[in-house]
Amino acid sequence: MDKDIVLEVKNLSVSFYTDQRKNTAIRDVSFTARRGKTLCVVGESGCGKSVSASAIMRLLPELSRIESGEINYYGRGEPIRMDKLDPDGELIRQIRGGDIAMIFQDPMTALNPVYTIGYQISENLLEHNKGMKKSEALDKSVQLLKAMGIPMPEQRVNEYPHQFSGGMRQRAMIAMAMACNPQLLLADEPTTALDVTVQAQIFELMADLKTNYNAAVILITHDMGVVTELADNVSVMYMGYVVEEGSVDEVLRTPAHPYTKALLSSIPVLGRGRNQDLQPIRGATPDPFHRPPGCQFEPRCDYAAPQCTQAMPEREHVDGEHYVRCFRYKEVLKNE
């Protein structure tokens, strides 16, 4: 077993049950988080990225269920099957926020509006450091806010979330997440609706935290530019499946899945001018309750063949750490 592995997700499937119907939101998903490395999980809205993170944290809503697979956490020596833990039990409470921390997409809804920022950071510290005094937790909260680049932290620590800007709220969320030096940081699109300059600062903070604490990072995003800058490894998701995975160089330089290639072709490249040829992905994602019978990307794929309508492709090894779910990946690579 690789000692750098902090978390391993194996063949995970999660379903949602509504009105006597079942939607399997993620299917047979596997990925690994390693110390000091960033795994970027990318894909368009609704592909299952956030559901994967919620399953890891055991924060899935009531009408959902882990159908199959394993979530193994290795941060405490012997592997802990996260998928088997009681979502309200003592062990998951110790791991969640302490060993594994999460930065949510919208800090305004993730932060409690009736408590000060300092109280909320201190609460996390006191929960996972039983011998710590309240005054020590508040002092530590000030230090964390200062480390996040928030001005006048001694004053700000006593303010409420509505008194912080969007960027400052996200910094406060990161401070709360990093308060207990987690071994794994989950970041679910942490820069949504933030200015570009603030986004760059947030990502720089995350990169520093990964380096300084040797933490594993799973970053959920739909921004391929972010992937280029921050990722060590990439998992590309579509309609609940990981359709391509590998190192950032393997996936972005030699995409083997038509969906990955289409994503990259639809992004403008700086320096090519305003007349560059962008190729949007045709069609739309299918209704999850009326999925295509075979490959989920087949209705939108330029490489589709008759066999693609029969079954979802199995995971194929391309090279190195590079894997893909595509019957015609060799043709995709030839056209690079």
What is the per-residue pLDDT for 270?
67
- Domain 5-231: give its CATH superfamily: P-loop containing nucleotide triphosphate hydrolases (3.40.50.300)
Structure tokens at 44: 């368009």
- What's the average model confidence in pLDDT over 100-121? 90
Across the chain, the runs of DSSP E, i.e. the strands, are 5-18, 21-34, 38-42, 64-73, 80-81, 100-103, 184-188, 216-221, 233-238, 241-247, 316-319, 322-324
What is the per-residue pLDDT for 238?
96
What is the per-residue pLDDT for 1?
64
What is the per-residue pLDDT for 102?
92
- What's the average model confidence in pLDDT over 166-193? 88
Which is nearest to 126 in space by CA: 98, 145, 92, 102? Answer: 98
What is the per-residue pLDDT for 217?
95
- Each residue of 113-146: pLDDT tens digit? 999 999 999 999 999 988 899 999 999 999 999 9
Q: Please check the confidence at residue 251 and state whether its pLDDT lies above 80.
A: yes
Task: Please report, rounded to a whole number, the percentage of residues in the chain having pLDDT higher than 70.
Answer: 98
- What's the average model confidence in pLDDT over 84-112? 89
Strands 21-34 and 316-319: unpaired
- Each residue of 31-59: pLDDT tens digit? 999 999 999 999 988 899 999 999 999 99
- pLDDT tier at 274, thresholds 50, 70, 90: confident
Task: Indicate where the chain has its CATH 3.40.50.300 domain(s).
Answer: 5-231
Sign for the pseudo-dihedral over CA of 274, 277, 281, 283 = positive
- This prediction's pTM: 0.92
CB of 192 closer than 8 Å to CB of 106: yes
CB of 234 closer than 8 Å to CB of 252: yes
Cα gap 111→173, rounded to integer Å: 8
What is the per-residue pLDDT for 170?
87
CB of 285 closer than 8 Å to CB of 44: yes
- What's the average model confidence in pLDDT over 237-249? 97
